[in-house]
Amino acid sequence: MNLKKSQVTAFVIFGIILIVLVSGFIFLESHIFNFNLKKIGNEIEPIHLIIEDCVSEIAERAVLHVGKKGGYYEEIPEPSFEGRFPYYFYDGKNYIPDKEEIEHELSLYMNERLPDCVDFSDFSDLDIDRGKVYSNVLIKDESVIFDIEYPVSITKEGEKTYFLRDFKTDVPVRLGKIYNAIRIFTFDQVKHGNDTCNVCLNAITRGDYFRVNVYNINENATLFTFIDNNSSLQERFIFNFVNKYNQTLTR
């Protein structure tokens, strides 16, 4: 019996010692980590801000660029007007891109342009590695939302490695409302052929503070420019597309 009691006592003492050692290690590790985080935090915060600033800048550029090209980033598919503007109505058919396609074009702009914007040359004392940019774009009525994964690891020699990855920005432009108005107009155009007029445009955009400029660029091609008068971007937001008619659009 005494032997069993001695064994139990020894196990209890060993357990207490083990708990104390583990707790002490966790406490020490936690304090060391927090010290390093506080020490390096001041150095990685500027990196975080640089990326955030570039994310906002590139997102705004993407929206402005894609709007000017009728929903496309680089090459405009046929039918197009001299490769400059897409036809949305051509030979009686509707060629307006889906909203998801425009979102994809915006994400391509972000994925390709963000790395060129981010400049870490002022941080030569840090080892900075970055991965590929992946972005998801959502066009809302009042804004365009960019969710971005841009993995960046920051290491200072002899210290811990820290990671940045997720970034988000909203561009305050009513692309969703403009797209919906253009979609209604284009489907109405297909239904009525050459009978559509500026009065129809006014009815679609009434109350949304859009302005629509109409230019007859030749006897069969009419350029439409939708303008968001409420956007607060570095330049006014415009969205261009062309329709082909067998006669000049009624004014």
**Per-residue pLDDT, 161:** 85
pTM of the model: 0.79
Buried b (16+ CB within 10 A) or exposed e, 150-179: bebebebeeeeebebeebebebebbbbbbb
- Quick one: CA torsion of 27, 28, 31, 36, rounded to 10 degrees? -150
Place of tokens 């108005």: 181
SS3 call for 149: strand
The reported pLDDT for the residue numbered 10 is 56
Q: How crowded is residue 127: how many other Cβ atoms within 10 Å of its Cβ?
A: 12
109: left (phi over 0), alpha (psi -120 to 50) or beta: alpha
Count other Cβ atoms within 10 Å, centred on residue 193: 11
- Within 8 A by CB and 6+ apart from 13, the residues are none
* Cα distances (Å, whole numbers) of residue 228 to 141, 146, 187, 188, 239: 12, 20, 21, 22, 9
The answer to whether the CB of 40 falls within 8 A of the CB of 160 is: yes
pLDDT of residue 225: 95
Block mean pLDDT (10 aa), the chain, length 251: 53 61 49 40 83 97 98 95 94 94 98 96 88 98 97 85 93 95 89 67 69 88 90 90 74 43
